[in-house]
Amino acid sequence: MQVGFENSNLTILDEQTLRLILGSAPIAIVAVDEAGMIFFVNDKLCDLFQYSPEELIGRQMELLLPEQLHKIHVAHRQRFMDIPYVRPMGSGMDLSGRRKDGSIFPLEAGLSPIQVGGRMVILSTIIDITQRKQTEEILEQRVLARTQEIEHRRQIADSMRDILSKLNANLSLKETLQYIVDQTESLLNADGSAIFLFDSASHAYKIRVRQGLGQIDAEQMIIPYSSDSLLKQAMAIQQAVYVGDLQHEILGQDTVAQYRRQLLLANGYRALIVVPLMVSDETYGGLITYYYHEKAFLEEELDLAMLFGSQISLAIQNANLRTRGEEQAVTAERNRIARDLHDSVTQTLFSASMIADVLPLLWSMRPEEGERRLHELRELTRGALAEMRTLLLELRPATLEDVPLPELLQQLIDGVAARGKVAVDFQIEGDCDLPMEIRVAFFRTAQEAMNNVAKHSQASRVAITLQCQSDAAMMTIGDDGCGFALDKIPPNHIGLDIMRERAAAIDGDLSIETTPSIGTTVQLSWQRREE
């Protein structure tokens, strides 16, 4: 059948032909006149809307629409009658129909204006798209769920990356744990969370950091080591355990566990997850997340809780290693200072003591030699005093920031001169009022160079020149010692790497010139860079 416009004229059919063609059509069809009155329906339409033909013929088309759309449809129908056109199905309009029982369903409708018996009629073909809409809704829900899952996984990945950056940052353990527990609460959609760590003094697991938990006192949440608790169960199986509804489940058999359960219920909590904090066979405590509503926890939620637990364990282990490393560094530094005391001050004082013991007898027998030894004793004690001051600087590094650079260098010179019987010529040019970090770098470089002179150079003379300006400085240390072949010395030998690193730290230049049997010259220069 051809409907619609043809050569700018409406297709003309008689009513009997219309009924013959459309009566058995496999699609719901209704025909209305210019006033919107129904004058033909087929069986498919009656089945779709649950009306008999007699109930529809002579009624307004709006009977088949939801009541709230009646007025607006009348206006649309009138405009369509003024300028009729073919509107195919699936034209993007969101349409609904109303069955006899009042139920609403989605539909698609095509419109075709035709001439029947000398009058214009609108022929509407209708299909029920309920199943299609349901399928689309299911697909949309799946897409939304998948999108949310992808976003959630992205947030987890971002959180893990951020946690790793926190582990590598110079943060305290408490700061790191607080960050992790905040992330845990957010990504597990918890209403509270806490990290329990073992306290040896009370022999119990106590809250170290928390998020949420309202007015609950941390001391009320203590889990005794010997208590029958979910934490002990989680540690035993090394997996997360949970309570889906605290009103119908318990936390343990003893009175302490029963008290904690009542405390949580009184504060509105109904469910929780307990994660053991373990690395290998070492146990640190537990991570517990709390929820206001009963929950049936998914395997994915328990896995995520375990993932956060492993990050917490890693943070604790990292902090323990850092503490042990710091303790070892302190011990190593103490040993180094002890060696320096033995190699310098102790030996110098021993030499001074020996001279002091024989000096009275020597003075009585050989006054000139006694006087010379007295001068030597004075130099030894001065050197020992200078070396003690230098060692005190090692024990109190902040002092370096307050002492002028020439004074620091003089202490080094006095100590080396007394220890190694090296003659040192020290020249200063200009006012050396340098920034603190420059002053410290110059002192440490000189300290390393002078230690090399005393230990390795076999030098008899050293010349030190310090030239200063307001925005620049240059220090030159040269000795007449044995020197060495620079290209045959490992880069990390006798502190060369240390001196280079200190120069680079202040954006300075370090040069080392050495010739075997001639001597060595170390020069450090610095100039303020233009900003």
Q: Which comes out higher in pLDDT, residue 15 or 80?
A: 80
Distance of alpha carbon 34 from its chain centroid, rounded?
69
Q: Which comes out higher in pLDDT, residue 344 or 332?
A: 332
Q: Which comes out higher in pLDDT, residue 461 or 2?
A: 461
Separation in Å, CA 296 to CA 229, 243, 249, 270, 308 = 20, 9, 13, 11, 20
Q: What is the pLDDT of residue 8?
A: 34
The domain 405-531 having CATH identifier 3.30.1540.20: the answer here is no
Name the residue among 240, 230, 216 with its Cα closest to residue 306.
240
What pLDDT digit, counting tens, does each position of 316-326 carry? 888 887 777 77
Q: Which residue has the tokens 């009513």?
A: 15
Quote the mean pLDDT of the chain: 82
Confidence of residue 494 (pLDDT cuts 50, 70, 90): low
Kindly report the CATH class assigned to 5-128: alpha beta
Q: 508 by DSSP, 3-state: which?
A: coil
What pLDDT digit, counting tens, does each position of 39-80 carry? 889 999 999 999 999 999 999 999 999 999 999 989 888 888
Q: What is the mean pLDDT of residues 496-507?
A: 85
Segments of the chain assigned to CATH 3.30.450.40: 157-319
Output the CATH code of domain 157-319.
Answer: 3.30.450.40
Q: Choose the weakest-confidence range: 160-169, 256-265, 278-287.
A: 160-169
Do 408 and 369 meet the contact criterion of CB atoms below 8 Å apart?
no
Instruction: Collect all residues with Cβ–Cβ distance below 8 Å to 529 and sequence separation of at least 6.
Output: 507
Q: What is the mean pLDDT of residues 290-310?
A: 89
Q: Choose the weakest-confidence range: 172-181, 261-270, 324-333, 422-431.
A: 324-333
Q: Choose the weakest-confidence range: 111-120, 130-139, 332-341, 413-422.
A: 332-341
Cα torsion through 311, 316, 317, 318, rounded to 10: 90
Segments of the chain assigned to CATH 3.30.450.20: 5-128
Instruction: Collect all residues with Cβ–Cβ distance below 8 Å to 450 and sequence separation of at least 6.
Output: 412, 413, 416, 462, 477
What pLDDT digit, counting tens, does each position of 224-273 carry? 888 888 888 888 888 999 999 988 888 877 788 888 889 999 999 999 99
Do 180 and 193 meet the contact criterion of CB atoms below 8 Å apart?
no
What pLDDT digit, counting tens, does each position of 99-129 carry? 999 999 999 999 989 887 778 889 999 999 9
Q: What is the pLDDT of residue 194?
A: 92
Amino acid (one-letter) located at 254? D
Q: Which residue has the tokens 């010379």?
A: 372
Q: What is the pLDDT of residue 381?
A: 74
Share of the chain above pLDDT 70, in %: 82
Three-state SS sequence of 192-221? EEEEEEEECCCCEEEEEEEEECCCCCHHHH
Q: What is the pLDDT of residue 13?
A: 57
Q: Which residue has the tokens 């918890």?
A: 190
What pLDDT digit, counting tens, does each position of 455-472 carry? 777 888 889 999 998 889
Gap between the Cα atoms of 338 and 346, Å rounded: 10
Report whether pLDDT(3) > 50: no
Q: What is the mean pLDDT of residues 30-37?
A: 90
Confidence of residue 201 (pLDDT cuts 50, 70, 90): confident
Q: Where are the alpha helices (DSSP H) in 421-477?
A: 436-452
Structure tokens given for 141 = 């829900």
Three-state SS sequence of 16-82? HHHHHHHCCCCCEEEEECCCCEEEEECHHHHHHHCCCHHHHCCCEHHHHCCHHHHHHHHHHHHHHHH
Q: What is the pLDDT of residue 180?
A: 87
